[in-house]
Amino acid sequence: MDADSASRGRAAPQGASVHPGGVNFSVYSRAASAMDLVFFDHEDDAHPSRVIRLDPADHRTYHYWHAFVPGVQPGQIYAYRAHGTWDPASGMRFDATKVLIDPYGRAVVIPKSYSREEACREDASISAAMKSAVVDCSGYDWEGDVPLQTPSSRTVIYEMHVRGFTRHPSSGVPAPKRGTYAGLIEKIPYLRQLGITAVELLPVFQFDAQDAPPGLINYWGYSPVSFFAPHSGYSSRQGPLAAIDEFRDMVKELHRAGIEVILDVVFNHTAEGDERGPTLGFRGLDNRTYYILEADRSRYANYSGTGNTLNANNAIVRRMIVDSLRSWWKRCTSTASASTSLPFSRETCPAP
């Protein structure tokens, strides 16, 4: 396939930003020698429908690779391929055969054929790889929703797992909505009856449900793939943008009922695990930036006990964490601004 072209675009903001006439894409990679932006028509396509080679002379500012692509719409499935040195001994793990999700992507699509074991292989199938999707963050009607600001002295918190709260038939939720954001909406009258003023949701970042011992699934969600995308497995709807819209519907309805939303968030590690784990995004884009490595730089510092530790000592990673919190705050109210505090979020297990 011939590489396609795009205009220069801008380095900021990171991620996929929707503008009149197209979308601006920007991703950080300090050590990559070249970068491809690849588009797919379907999440399980074996080959991209469009490839845009980002020329460093025109599409790189500092360590940010960027392009503006005319005509792209929300819902477009995309990923990156990072070219560079494969030298694990020096912490370099570039492999241009792998498609990589956008660290700032607001939605993650997971093919039905996704296999964590497959993603660990050097010849992993593109059709089974996770990918990102373009989201128009402004394209949602909040219907005047505003923060509730309930005084802490009057706050009654119900901590819950989104799936576990309504998964069982005894929840009384219709079968198609059990274990989903929509299912939680169905239980709002029950929460009000209990006198609940805030729900604290166990992790809702997109996570890898296959990050578990053989024969088991990751139930709790402490295995993030993306710090910006809601977990698609908690959506009752289908499609690249289904999870984010259903999540916002849930927040809006909870607020309408006088119930605040608190998120239990995870920023100390990712689902990529140690050196034996899959390459999903961070590892393939800039391994030495995103992770703390041992003196033997082919190995990962495992302060988290999960195989790797996010490198919050690095300014790029710290900024990503703050940008993530800000993104979720904006996603949880129509009146959010960049200067607004983040009372609904708390960081669990902070990086050392």
- The predicted-structure confidence for 221-243, as pLDDT tens digits, reads as follows 999 999 999 999 999 999 999 99
Within 180-235, residue ranges assigned H as helices are 181-186, 188-194
The predicted pLDDT at position 332 comes to 65
86 and 170 belong to one structural domain: no
- Compute the mean pLDDT over every residue in the chain, rounded to the nearest whole number: 92
Q: What is the CATH number of the domain that holds 42?
A: 2.60.40.10
If you count them, how many residues does the chain have? 352
Is residue 41 domain-resident? yes
What separation, in Å, do the N-terminal and C-terminal C-alpha atoms of the chain show?
Answer: 45
Segment 255-260 shows an average pLDDT of 96
The alpha carbon of 267 is separated from its chain's Cα centroid by a whole number of angstroms, namely 12
Give the number of domains in the chain.
Answer: 2
The string of pLDDT tens digits covering residues 336-346 is 333 222 333 44
Do the domain assignments include residue 4? Answer: no
In 257-336, which residue ranges form alpha helices assigned H by DSSP? 282-290, 315-331
Q: Are residues 191 and 120 in the same domain?
A: no
Peptide bond into 20 cis (omega under 30): no
Q: Which of 259, 288, 284 is nearest to 272 (CA)?
A: 284
Q: What is the pLDDT of residues 104-144, one digit of tens each?
A: 999 999 999 999 999 999 888 899 999 999 999 888 889 98
Residues 264 and 156 in one domain: yes
Domain assignment present for 111:
yes
Q: Which residues contact 349 (CB under 8 A, 6 or more apart)?
A: 266, 268, 304
Let me know if residue 61 belongs to a domain: yes
Q: Is residue 188 located within the same domain as residue 71?
A: no
Integer Cα distance of 245 and 280 in angstroms: 24
Question: Residue 180 pLDDT more than 90?
Answer: yes
User: Measuring CA to CA, which residue among 40, 152, 200, 135 is closest to residue 330?
Assistant: 135
pTM over 0.85: yes
Residue 147: Cβ-neighbour burial (10 angstroms; 0-12, 13-18, 19+): middle
Residue span of the structural domain in which 82 resides:
15-138
Angstrom distance (rounded) from CA 184 to CA 203 = 15
